[in-house]
């Protein structure tokens, strides 16, 4: 068809002056990305921060992302990393792929600023599952308060934490394992290089995470590879501070033997054979023994407790805490009976020191159920948060919390009976109450308003306090002020101190050091 002269002119104009792009644009060091508008926010999903860790890059340090020409759409989330199961009961299983090293950004859309605090979210899931795209983790509500929120993916399970003597031999650092931690470090390096393109200040980066995400943060604080990449840290219901004597398989030589056994279970006796397998095949053998951190020379040369005790951790302000009923969302209590209480504990956790078991009376079935939840609360989360706060407060400002609010979980939901359990604080901290039709109360909304602002204030200044908020005193080991996040919000002493001190004494003996006299008995200066 012959073009009219007007159509010819319009076609030529299009070639030289293409129409304005519909979404917000940002220029990264690998290329230009186009996001989407969400009211006052610019949202970018699925931006690569490293090359796909596939083929020969499986079980190697993450490589730089492949640059692209033109404008790359950033409107859709990328698949989560390879995994089985879900990180939270009731969660929709995510789409997965081995090509998964992407991040997402929520930022105020106003242009011309490069001074906004940056908050980098590290999801939980036991280092075995989880997704940066889970709706509960969306950063839109925090970003509306003037911060740039980034959620990152990292390799999980055997893809992220396999140690093996062949991998150690091919490494320039005589190490293997912790590829998931290296992914987190690569994402932080990307943020340092590119934060300004999204309005963020690369000199004011906060890492925050829950459960395995908090455990990752404790390791990043201990890792020399992460030095200078973040300036504040928030750990929610996680941490790695128990004596290494309780987890000797975390040591490189033991972890390598576990890696060899894992390959043998798949009929793949070499790393070359394992690299040749389709990604889905690597999840067909039990993966629990190759889904944990490794103490190795390069990324994590010593356990976090040892790094903190030596004053060798990355020195940044810290906000840390745990929940009042952590275990209720993780443990089936229906079969707990006083008659089988200790045998059940041994099957689940191995032989626990008698002093720990004795600290939780279990003379009746009702008492046994309470004892089981309290023991697991302290064993898995409470003692770590307390130890992390005490160790951290030797060198820096620390703000500690204890979350006590019970969300209005419906009786017919996957969250029924959770109470103030593991995960419960996330709806409040992300201020995402509006994602569910649950009957949130005015007290719930006040707490969500306050928690999200505490977190944003801390990211901005290293101090969570601000106008309109109940005062949050700094944690000092000798008086142990924490903030109780519930109704009401108020300073308080260390919760469950008696049983936490039992753990402290047992762990001190395992480390070969006598328990230190403690005066953490109250909150003597709540207005400090």
CB contact at 8 A, 283 and 84: yes
Interstrand relation of 148-152 and 102-108 (parallel, antiparallel or unpaired): antiparallel
Provide the strand spans (E) within 348-481: 398-403
Catalytic residue IDs: 211, 326, 422
CB contact at 8 A, 259 and 162: yes
* Token code pair at residue 302: 């010593």
CB neighbours of 447 closer than 8 A, spacing ≥ 6?
Answer: 405, 428, 485, 486, 487, 489
Question: Distance between CA atoms of 458 and 167, rounded to whole angstroms?
Answer: 40
The backbone torsions φ and ψ at residue 235, rounded to the nearest 5 degrees and listed phi first, read -120, 120
CB neighbours of 523 closer than 8 A, spacing ≥ 6?
Answer: 473, 479, 480, 481, 482, 491, 492, 493
First vs last C-alpha separation in the chain: 80
Comparing CA positions, the residue from 103, 102, 86 lying closest to residue 53 is 102
Residues facing 492 on adjacent strands: 482
* Token code pair at residue 350: 């191995």
CB contact at 8 A, 163 and 252: yes
Question: Distance between CA atoms of 245 and 507, rounded to whole angstroms?
Answer: 9
């Amino acid at each position: 068809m012959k073009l009219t002269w007007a159509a010819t002119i319009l076609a030529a104009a299009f070639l030289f002056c293409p129409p304005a792009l519909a979404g917000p644009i940002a220029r990264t060091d690998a290329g230009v990305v186009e996001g989407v508008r969400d009211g006052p926010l610019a949202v970018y999903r699925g931006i690569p921060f490293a090359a796909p860790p596939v083929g020969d890059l499986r079980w190697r340090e993450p490589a730089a992302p492949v640059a692209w020409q033109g404008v790359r759409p950033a409107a859709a989330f990328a698949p989560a990393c390879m995994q089985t199961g879900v990180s939270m009961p009731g969660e929709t299983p995510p789409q997965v792929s081995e090509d998964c090293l992407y991040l997402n950004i929520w930022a105020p859309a106003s242009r011309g600023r490069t001074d906004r605090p940056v908050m980098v979210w590290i999801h939980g899931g036991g280092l075995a599952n989880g997704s940066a795209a889970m709706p509960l983790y969306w950063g839109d509500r925090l970003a509306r308060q003037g911060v740039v929120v980034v959620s990152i993916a990292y390799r999980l399970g055997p893809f992220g934490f396999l140690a093996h003597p062949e991998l150690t031999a091919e490494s320039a650092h005589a190490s293997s394992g912790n590829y998931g931690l290296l992914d987190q470090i690569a994402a932080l390096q990307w943020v340092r290089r590119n934060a300004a393109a999204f309005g963020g200040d690369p000199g004011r980066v906060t890492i925050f995470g829950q459960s395995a995400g908090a455990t990752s943060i404790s390791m990043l604080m201990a890792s020399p590879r992460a030095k200078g990449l973040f300036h504040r840290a928030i750990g929610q219901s996680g941490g790695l501070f128990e004596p290494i004597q309780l987890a000797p398989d975390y040591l490189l030589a033991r972890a390598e033997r576990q890696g060899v056994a894992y390959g043998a279970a798949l009929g793949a006796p070499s790393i070359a054979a394992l690299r040749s397998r389709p990604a889905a095949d690597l999840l067909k053998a039990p993966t629990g023994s190759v889904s944990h951190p490794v103490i190795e020379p390069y990324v994590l040369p010593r356990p976090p407790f040892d790094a903190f005790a030596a004053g060798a951790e990355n020195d940044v302000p810290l906000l840390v805490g745990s929940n009042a009923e952590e275990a209720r969302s993780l443990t089936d209590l229906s079969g707990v009976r006083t008659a089988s209480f200790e045998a059940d504990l041994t099957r689940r956790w191995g032989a626990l020191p008698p002093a720990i078991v004795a600290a939780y009376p279990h003379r009746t079935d009702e008492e046994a159920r309470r004892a089981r939840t309290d023991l697991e609360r302290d064993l898995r989360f409470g003692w770590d948060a307390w130890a992390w706060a005490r160790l951290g407060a030797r060198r820096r400002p620390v703000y500690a919390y204890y979350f006590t609010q019970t969300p209005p979980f419906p009786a017919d939901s996957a969250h029924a009976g959770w109470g103030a359990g593991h995960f419960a604080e996330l709806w409040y901290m992300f201020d995402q109450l509006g994602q569910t039709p649950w009957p949130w109360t005015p007290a719930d909304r006040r707490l969500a308003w306050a928690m999200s602002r505490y977190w944003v204030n801390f990211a901005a200044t290293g101090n969570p306090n601000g106008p309109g908020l109940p005062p949050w005193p700094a944690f000092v080991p000798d008086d142990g002020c924490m903030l109780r996040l519930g109704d009401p919000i108020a300073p308080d002493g260390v919760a469950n101190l008696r049983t936490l001190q039992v753990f402290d004494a047992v762990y001190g003996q395992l480390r070969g050091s006598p328990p230190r006299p403690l005066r953490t008995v109250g909150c003597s200066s709540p207005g400090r």
